[in-house]
Structure 1
């Protein structure tokens, strides 16, 4: 089981939108040095929605190569087409990813049975650990705990990223899925409490900016050290809020650029952070002592 602070890595780009491999390598080294426990390549924060399938897998392959086995790499391979999700998951296995993260199909609003059959088909097609990803705020599709419980019984489905922010689901999913099933939060604002309640880690946006603090906070929370975890989380509160002042990953890419780790670059239809948001994000970075 992968535990701790799993950073949903941004994808560095030049101002024309092309992927900046040099900065990508620099980011990988930064996260390993700062103690991030794992990386997600090509999740939502990595702008997976606007990269072609070839670019998508090229970034995953590059991250796997740069990491060189030092920490796990989880590839985002979800799609609203089951066939496409299987193809991406097969490609991720081929380039050496340690696991895959599969978002619920978006826009087409499958039923709970449709979700079950979608994930079952992927698990049966590709021999790689697979993590479910529920984020109804983006997909307009909520995978219910009971469906997660059914899927947890399928070999190769090893965990879930539960990004609803609903902390009551932690105990419900744990009871349905058992202790060997990994529970990750995808909501930075509630990640501390999620792990104190028995979660196994966070797939984090804030960890792009303050990786050491997020690692230390999540480690303390997993170990049941409420005092330490909440004390560290207090310094991260601003990031948890201000990194979502505009659509993710707009603010976090600006923040990582402000830290000198990459150049300014994002793909349409996303646009660069507007100037009126600079001060709130910068203030949150000061609070977390990253600048």
Structure 2
């Protein structure tokens, strides 16, 4: 459940900005049918930053309900206060959630020792498997391989989502962890190369709109068929890059609507609708991928 193509799922909303249950069900059905390995609910792409605490938990539980055991659901549970991250994590104990994705604390920029103590404290308050999430471009905080190596010794910290796009990190981390520790890319554009170096999969934005293709690419990579996987990856490369032509999840939500996967591309302020200038850019990428 923590390998292959894991989608960082968008949170669909209606025109008034309320979570749209019918579109969420449609998205989940799409990923089940497409072979996606698991869903991350309410991560960055799921607009965790603009959902209230109650909504955050409610969306995760709604996703779990609608998945109905057909696909594993991972909860985004990060916060920049350790007590808040613990509280959110504990909400999902005994819920059916298979694990938690916890981002490094943002804005307050802790030291490496602070990061170690933060994640260790969270892990000690739950039996749920924990996936560390390192994305310094978003958080202003970079969790170094040495810190990941220390945390990998905590029994229920089982994986890391490495979203720096720095491929040298793969071997650096692998040298410091046991063989059963899972390395996941958080950068679609370098994910296949990440897997070629020994990574186990990707938590993907692209998979929101190219679920079958991402699942097949990861399956081929896991089987060592990298030439075949690269053919798919090259077809998806414009999507990997252009889905970030505006801040995530603005373009991917628009793309989901364009493909009929959700009813609207509504976002909450301060996120704003995709600009007219970006429409042909994303349309071209979708066509290059064979999705339009």
TM range (shorter): over 0.9
Mapped contact 1:6–1:201 kept (Cα < 8 A): yes
CA distance in 2, matches of 1:281, 1:180: 38
State whether residues 193 and 221 of structure 1, in contact with CA within 8 Å, keep that contact through their aligned partners in structure 2.
no
What is the rounded CA distance, in whole Å, between the counterparts of 2:225 and 2:239 in structure 1? 22
CA distance in 2: counterparts of 1:106 and 1:227, whole angstroms = 38
Q: What is residue 134 of structure 1 aligned with on the other side? A: 134
Post-superposition offset of 1:229: 1.0
2:151 & 2:145 partners in 1: Cα distance? 10
Quick check: 1:114 aligned with 2:114? yes
Secondary structure of the corresponding residue to residue 69 of structure 2: coil
Deviation at 1:127, TM superposition (A): 1.1
Aligned to 1:256: 256
Other-structure match for 1:267: 268
Unaligned runs of 5+ in 2: none
Structure 2 CA distance for aligned equivalents of residues 71 and 153 of structure 1: 28
Q: Which structure 2 residues correspond to residues 133-282 of structure 1 after superposition, within 5 A?
A: 133-264=133-264, 265-282=266-283
Q: Give the SS at the match of 2:88.
A: helix
The more displaced of 132-141 and 213-222 is 213-222
Query: Quick check: 1:77–1:92 contact (8 Å CA) kept in 2?
Result: no
Q: TM-score, normalised by structure 2?
A: 0.98
User: In the superposition, relative to structure 1, how do residues 49 and 94 fare at CA in structure 2: closer, same or farther (>3 Å)?
Assistant: farther
Aligned Cα root-mean-square deviation (Å): 0.9
Q: By how many angstroms is 1:94 displaced?
A: 4.2
CA shift digits 1:163-221 (9 cap, x unpaired): 00010110111110121001000000000110111101100000001000011111111
Q: Do the aligned partners of 1:82 and 1:118 also contact (CA within 8 Å) in 2? A: yes
Q: Say yes or no: does 1:285 pair with 2:280.
A: no
- The equivalences for 1:40-119 within 5 A come to 40-119=40-119
Query: How much has 1:276 moved relative to structure 2?
Result: 0.7
Q: Which runs of 5+ in 1 are unaligned?
A: none
Q: Structure 1-normalised TM-score?
A: 0.98
**Aligned residue pairs, count:** 291
- Provide the rounded CA distance (Å) in 1 between the counterparts of 2:195 and 2:125: 32
**Structure with the bigger percentage of helix:** 1
**What is the alpha-carbon distance in structure 1 between the residues aligned to residue 184 and residue 99 of structure 2?**
14
